[in-house]
Chain A
């Protein structure tokens, strides 16, 4: 079946550090890939997405590239801020009209000043 594996947290960084959160997936066909972010006490918000191979999603300084050859969608940001502290979820939506989003377990990021 479809699945998403993302790096275990928690991740703790200093402000302005480089961030990478790894995400790999298993799916049949060509899924759409997403990163969602959950700030403390809130629901999930879409951060970025990519719907086909080699697409790059980007938002708020975050980027992720859909790599079919490595089945990966790693999240990166060049310089994190304290306000980026949150839990980040990688997810996929299978091709074929499925409504299901399959989520990874989430990675908690804490950025210290």
Chain B
């Protein structure tokens, strides 16, 4: 399998549930990203990991908790979410996070919080 994969593709959860989103990249990249895409809003960068170290946390609420165990895998752990957290969550990777570096996106996880 090539590129950036995300699982699950769709997720419905209640506000008291705990779930995790998974992202895997097969491109040999060293930087990975989580974005949130809501209707009628620009893509919002949530977290950046570079060489497994978190280098960006864009004021994301603590109910979202990222984990990057190695350069190929990135998780987003979710707990006690709110209905307004319903969105498409996109993972991306790039070679090393430098300016001009192309980011490659996964297909996203469509999250619905009831």
Contacts and interface: CB of A to CB of B under 8 A. Distances in A.
Interface residues of B, number: 28
Interface residues of A, number: 26
Contacts of A98: 99
A103 B98 contact: no
Interface centre among A34, A46, A93 (most CB of B within 10 A): A93
Given A43-B90, A44-B90, A94-B99, A100 B108 contact: no
B97 A105 contact: no
B42 A105 contact: yes
A43 B107 CA distance: 4
Contact of A31 (B4, B92, B99, B104): B99
Given A42-B107, A44-B105, 15 more contacts: A41-B107, A43-B6, A43-B107, A44-B43, A45-B105, A46-B103, A49-B100, A49-B102, A93-B99, A97-B98, A99-B94, A99-B101, A100-B48, A105-B42, A106-B42
